[in-house]
């Protein structure tokens, strides 16, 4: 990856996780406070799969009238090329209500994935029972999130540390092998189908933006890009990402967006508090992208606009 240290902050960050994602512990206050301090004026909350944290985010944003808040979500969907992460930006409260069946499906999927992971690791002879997983969740997730979302999967980072501490594995490589063997022992449930989920979200007015696209686009393979643009009903591309879009691909994605009248977004994808002050707004997305994004977001969705 090229010189990330030289990157100036953008005035917007449209990919942020809070503790309402099972693999994140940022609070929305930390994000708003830091954004306000360092001059990131527009942020999107895009927790994994669920919008349970949006009411809290809207409430907290009332104390930061200088920050425009875009309610969103990051959905992993099954597609013709495997699992793809799609950001949905600009969810109104009406959209959130109307999409209840989608949230129900993801809520259940998270529970099923958590159980399958525990069962797979247990099948290999290691004690990662549902009770152990619950204990691990309680060690880093706020109780209010567990009470709403139940026995979700754990974050990779926390699970790896737990497995190392318990002596299941001794390093990152062994951890990866163990997780892969566990997935063979007990297959994990597939992500909800993009063909069903994405049209429903789009119909509610939210913009569909493919997240950290290099893996899905095969770098910048035009056939893949064109195919996914149609299949995923894309409104935009996360052309800039703090870690997962190499800088040389950003102008290529941007040119393709202009060609197809798509928006270009940028985000940091922060999960952990220790990264927030350094990482918020840290992507190479251009300032001129923002007015294009703002013009297409449903205005009723924007908080503090
Ligand atoms: Zn993602
Ligand atoms: Zn993310």
pLDDT in tens, 217-271: 999 999 999 999 999 999 999 999 999 999 999 999 999 999 999 999 999 999 9
Count: domains in the chain:
1
- Spatial neighbors of 133 by CB under 8 A, at least 6 apart, are 114, 117, 118, 151, 153, 154
Ligand that comes closest to the CA of residue 86: 1
Neighbours of ion ligand 1 (CB under 5 A): 85, 211
Identify the pLDDT of residue 152.
Answer: 97
Of 60, 51, 59, 128, nearest in space to 95 by CA: 51
- Spatial neighbors of 220 by CB under 8 A, at least 6 apart, are 214, 249, 252, 253, 256
- With 0-12 / 13-18 / 19 or more C-beta atoms within 10 angstroms meaning exposed / middle / buried, residue 147 is exposed
165 Cα: distance to centroid of ligand 1 (angstroms) = 27
Q: Tell me the per-residue pLDDT of 279-289, one tens digit each, with 9 for 90 and over.
A: 999 999 999 99
In a domain? residue 151: yes
| DSSP type of residue 217 | H
Instruction: Identify the sign of the CA torsion 203, 204, 205, 207.
Output: negative
In a domain? residue 275: no
Whether the per-residue pLDDT at 194 is higher than 60: the answer is yes
Identify the pLDDT of residue 3.
Answer: 42
In a domain? residue 146: yes
95 Cα: distance to centroid of ligand 2 (angstroms) = 21
210 Cα: distance to centroid of ligand 1 (angstroms) = 9
CB atoms within 10 A of CB 199: 12
119 Cα: distance to centroid of ligand 1 (angstroms) = 25
Percent share of the chain, pLDDT over 70: 98
Range of the domain at 147: 112-185
Angle between helices 28-38 and 54-61 (to 10 degrees): 40
pTM of the predicted protein model: 0.96
HSE-CB for 230 with a 13 A CA cutoff:
6
Arithmetic mean of pLDDT over the chain: 96
Cα–Cα distance, 240 to 209 (Å, whole number): 12
Whether the per-residue pLDDT at 2 is higher than 90: the answer is no
In a domain? residue 132: yes
CB atoms within 10 A of CB 61: 20
125 Cα: distance to centroid of ligand 2 (angstroms) = 32
Ligand that comes closest to the CA of residue 17: 2
211 Cα: distance to centroid of ligand 1 (angstroms) = 6
- With 0-12 / 13-18 / 19 or more C-beta atoms within 10 angstroms meaning exposed / middle / buried, residue 36 is middle
15 Cα: distance to centroid of ligand 1 (angstroms) = 9
174 Cα: distance to centroid of ligand 2 (angstroms) = 25
């Amino acid at each position: 990856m090229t010189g990330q240290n030289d990157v100036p902050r953008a005035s917007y960050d449209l990919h942020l996780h809070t503790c309402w994602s099972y693999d994140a512990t940022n609070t929305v206050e930390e994000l708003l406070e830091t954004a306000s301090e360092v001059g990131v004026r527009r942020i999107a909350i895009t927790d994994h799969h669920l919008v349970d944290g949006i009411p809290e985010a809207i409430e907290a944003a009332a104390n930061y009238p200088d920050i425009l808040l875009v309610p969103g979500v990051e959905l992993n969907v099954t597609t013709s090329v495997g699992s793809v992460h799609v950001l949905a930006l600009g969810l109104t409260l009406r959209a959130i209500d109307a999409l209840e069946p989608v949230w129900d499906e993801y809520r259940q999927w998270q529970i099923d994935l958590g159980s399958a992971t525990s069962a797979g690791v247990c099948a290999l002879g290691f004690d990662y029972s549902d009770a152990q997983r619950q204990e691990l969740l309680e060690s880093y997730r706020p109780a209010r999130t567990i009470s709403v979302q139940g026995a979700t999967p754990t974050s990779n980072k926390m699970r790896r540390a737990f497995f190392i501490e318990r002596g299941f594995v001794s390093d990152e490589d062994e951890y990866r092998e163990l997780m892969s063997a566990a997935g063979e022992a007990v297959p994990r449930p597939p992500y909800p189908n993009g063909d069903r989920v994405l049209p429903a979200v789009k119909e509610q007015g939210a913009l569909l933006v493919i997240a950290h696209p290099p893996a899905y686009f095969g770098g910048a393979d035009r056939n893949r890009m064109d195919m996914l643009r149609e299949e995923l009903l894309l409104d935009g591309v996360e052309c800039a990402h703090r870690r997962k879009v190499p800088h040389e691909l950003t102008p290529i994605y941007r040119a393709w967006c202009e060609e197809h009248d798509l928006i270009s977004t940028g985000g940091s994808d922060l999960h952990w508090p220790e990264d927030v002050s350094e990482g918020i707004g840290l992507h190479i997305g251009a300032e001129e992208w923002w007015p294009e994004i703002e013009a297409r977001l449903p205005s009723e969705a924007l908080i503090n606009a």
